[in-house]
Structure 1
Amino acid sequence: MLRPVALVLLLLAPLGASAVETLRIAIEDTGSEVRVSGKGLASGPDSEDADFTPIASGQALIRRKGERLEVNGTLVEGDSVRFRAGVSNDSAAPGTEPLKAGAAQVRGDVVVRAHHRNSLQLINVIPLEDYLAAVLGSEMPVSFPAEALKAQAVAARTYALQKKLDAYSNDFHLGSSVLHQVYGGVNREDPRTRAAVDATRGQVLTYELAPIEAYFHASCGGRTESGFDALQRSLPYLRPVDCPCGKLPASRWTATLSDADIKAALRHPAQGLKVAARTRTNRVTRVTLGDGASMDGVELRRKLGYTRLKSLDFDLERTDRGYVFTGRGYGHGAGLCQWGAKALADKGREYREILSHYYPGAELQQLY
């Protein structure tokens, strides 16, 4: 049963009877100029209640001029300018038309601001539910069962709101890459992702009436990892749980690396590489290198490559010319396992049960 959310969460939303929860997403850093276009394009200052001036051509070329910006050859006040599509006398809902900014096509508004050195930064100011529809299409296969997509929608919404709280006064709340949540804009939306978002609208996971850090990953390999061991986040709702994904082919991988590959990546001799320590869920925390030096598992994975070493749950075998890594899972292993969510949904579990399994002790609440 959903409980009403704490007042502190309600303060996240902008004021106004028709206001919706929005996020500011850094989508791209460019050079000293960028093009923005859209049907019914207009520009204005970067504020929620700004007055927008239509741009007749529907296109804007923004150039950096020192610390200021120039739009279609005219200097504007301040170091940023906000663009919105769908602004016209016959438009009932300004901002609902997508617009193109640089290489991105997005809903909502786009802020172009002077960034470090002589560059520009693009920030997408977008309603949270529109953002989530694109995140789901970027983070989880749209062919997954509806209940798995709903679980992912709640996790992604919770993660985004928690990050917004952390970065509330910053120029943006999240990035658009794997460092936060992958966000691909309009092109990543799908009717199934939109349906999952709509079905869970406003629902978030909380612990002690605050949004949790709802981390997720592709596959845990059979058992999730604790928040501390995976992310140095000692959180009561991020603890190891058994997962059905361990039986799936998608959870198994191998990587063959030559001595030359390993030496180039680690800058240490490859011969003699050994696992020195593991967590309770079998993930590697430290390795010993050929020259006696040691390295922690996270650094090893970063240096060898995340797509090569898909997780830290691996065994190591020496060959004539290098090593074979035989692993389980893909990602850090904490929180929601996406392939595990699919397996549970295939067994008839609904999204509330899935979320309760991967975030034990967290509560599902209604924010709006």
Structure 2
Amino acid sequence: MQRKRQLDDSDNAGLRRTRRRIRLRIRNRVGPPTVRLRPVLATGGTVLLVGGALAYTQWPVDRAYEPLAGPGHGRGMSQVGAFDSAQEGWLAERILAHYYPGATLGTVPPTTLAVRLMDQDDAVLDAYADAGARVAGRTLEPGQVAHLTPLADGGANVVVTLGCDGDVLWQTSTADPWIYPLDPNPGRPAEEHLTLCNGRAYRGSLGVATEDGAFRTVNRVDVEDYLLGVVPAEVQANWADKGAGEALRAQAVAARSYALAEQRYPYAQTCDTTDCQVYPGTEKEDPRTAAAVASTAGQVLLRDGHILRSEYSAAPDGGAPADIQTFEVGPRPADLEVARPPADPRTRAAETPSAIDVEYERIGGANSTLGTPLGPEWGLPQNAGTYRLFTNGVIIATPTLGAQVVDFTTLMELIPGTDGLDTLPTETVPTETVPSETVPTETVPSDTVPPGTVPSGGDPGGAPPVEALPRHPAGLPMPPLADPVVPADVPAPVPPPGAAPA
């Protein structure tokens, strides 16, 4: 007659919540066909090295198999049963052998995992780190926030602001749609973690992608760092205080195997919800589950040399051993992409010069007749290219023409009107302009300045010009405007149709 273990009230409450959501993790089979399991070597519960992997093969000779507490409702390891078994003195390896009979235990090299963050679907990625970060080949200082919008070509538009809702500091487009921590090594302190403007923090890098035109956000993270967030979200860290620390170790191995066997999307291997494994970033990290992850580092379950997609659930009453032949498998450990050695964290990433920067240096930089820069690069309407204002002119860069020096009048023709369209790519350029009154020096809200504003002439003291509105996520305010010296012969812009005269 089997024994039922009485847990304290807090544990019972947690398990009841877990049981209600019984995560069966059953998927349509899209992986490789089932392979026939080779014979394994067994000696009554001993652990043997078979073909480079540890084989757990059968129960101790003094105990016949029986379910711990009933038939179970899930597939693979029952977390409730693992808790009971650990309290009875079972090691993690024995728990895994019980629930995945015939599987072997292997190791994987250091590797990273790409995780789709489902709550971020269709949203712009807004993130920062207290210590600073890197994006588009440039370094973000503490207090600066990067906003990434994915492009269809795999790149991203980047806007950097002071704080989540502050002034725009600079913007660009990049072929590398990722925000990186200053130090890419795993196990970094909290001030280096990337934090979304909604407050959730993640280890590793954050990037953007598109799927059928929809925005996606991805966390690329070392698999051991990933497990620091998953294990305490899937089971209770206080099991370590109840004599069930081995259940936490078994959970770490099962979760690592499940994640590395996944390949759900072209841009990410797995997701962060109960459809995959619950992964709330660093929110639930706990030293007790971190110890379980560290003590099993790199260990995965294998079937015929392939990583086993080791399903598990909160099946009540202990569950039952699985037929691992019905589980999908992923790559072999040797086929995983090995994490590249990280760059020296003390070395700041080299900033890639833009086409405008290259042209400016070619003509002599600050010693040229163009003078000094008046601000960062801005985007042309319809993403046709970029431009930058200087004291005596402008450099415009487009994919078809490269970088060219032009005067302010040419810039005015290109941005508000249609006269200059023959010098730009074929996208339609908006015709809106702003009235010619003096623009105040404070931040101009993005909903008050139409795309395609131009420098205005006038006061020799240097009334601030209106630069072309940068392309940026909706709702972000514009930066303070610079004070260039504008040639006196530059005409005032024409107000848009229906605007009140200046």
TM-score under structure 1 length normalisation = 0.50
TM-score (norm 2): 0.37
